[in-house]
């Protein structure tokens, strides 16, 4: 049994990435499983620990993490989101009612890894390196889905 891949913060420490207070606040916002935050959401979370952090700093830090390959950039539910899970190839499930987003490891979908094997489509041979599949639907647990939906509706 493995403990799974190291989380973002450990990976960055290992690389010797200088962890300033701003960077630490951004990384802190991206902690945990099934995290897919927009830049604004990262900003809000970072500002809760570091009130003066600017949007520009958040954007720059996110872009740097993406270019380092430590954070993925995915478009889900029509918005660009930042995904710290770059160690497990995965697709996404999106609930169209409450907006829940879940990672689905590629292997769990039973589609095969799809990587490293040539795929032939109408005679054209293709070598896949990465796939992003978004599966839309609804939570089977309607009550939990309703609760999430209500908690996201602006009360004003």
Residues at the contact surface with Zn ion, assessed by CB under 5 A: 83, 85, 95, 97-98, 100, 103, 139, 145
Q: What are the residue ranges of helices labelled H in the chain?
A: 8-15, 21-29, 39-49, 55-67, 142-152
Shortest Cβ distance from residue 103 to Zn ion (Å)?
4
What's the CA gap between 50 and 40, in Å, rounded?
14
Q: Could you tell me whether strands 134-137 and 90-95 are parallel, antiparallel, or unpaired per DSSP bridges? A: parallel
Nearer CB in complex with Zn ion: 50/86:
86
Shortest Cβ distance from residue 39 to Zn ion (Å)?
16
Shortest Cβ distance from residue 109 to Zn ion (Å)?
14
Using CB atoms within 10 A of its CB, is residue 114 exposed (0-12), middle (13-18) or buried (19+)?
A: middle
Nearer CB in complex with Zn ion: 37/53:
37
Nearer CB in complex with Zn ion: 8/53:
8
State the residue for tokens 């009612």.
97
Nearer CB in complex with Zn ion: 40/150:
150
Shortest Cβ distance from residue 140 to Zn ion (Å)?
9
What's the CA gap between 11 and 24, in Å, rounded?
13
- Contact between 71 and 55 under an 8 Å Cβ cutoff? The reply is no
């Amino acid at each position: 049994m493995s403990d799974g891949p190291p989380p973002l913060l450990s990976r960055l420490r290992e690389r010797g990435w200088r962890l300033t207070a701003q960077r630490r606040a951004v990384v802190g916002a991206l902690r945990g499983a099934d995290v897919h935050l927009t830049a604004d959401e990262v900003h809000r979370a970072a500002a809760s620990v570091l009130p003066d952090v600017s949007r520009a700093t958040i954007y720059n830090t996110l872009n740097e993490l993406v270019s380092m390959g430590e954070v993925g950039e995915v478009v889900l539910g029509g918005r660009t989101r930042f995904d710290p899970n770059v160690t497990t190839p995965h697709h996404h499930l999106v609930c169209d009612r409450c907006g829940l987003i879940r990672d689905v490891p590629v292997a769990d979908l039973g589609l095969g890894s799809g990587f490293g094997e040539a795929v032939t489509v109408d005679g054209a041979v293709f070598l896949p390196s990465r796939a992003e599949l978004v599966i839309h639907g609804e939570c089977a647990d309607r009550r939990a889905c309703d609760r999430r939906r209500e908690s996201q509706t602006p009360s004003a």
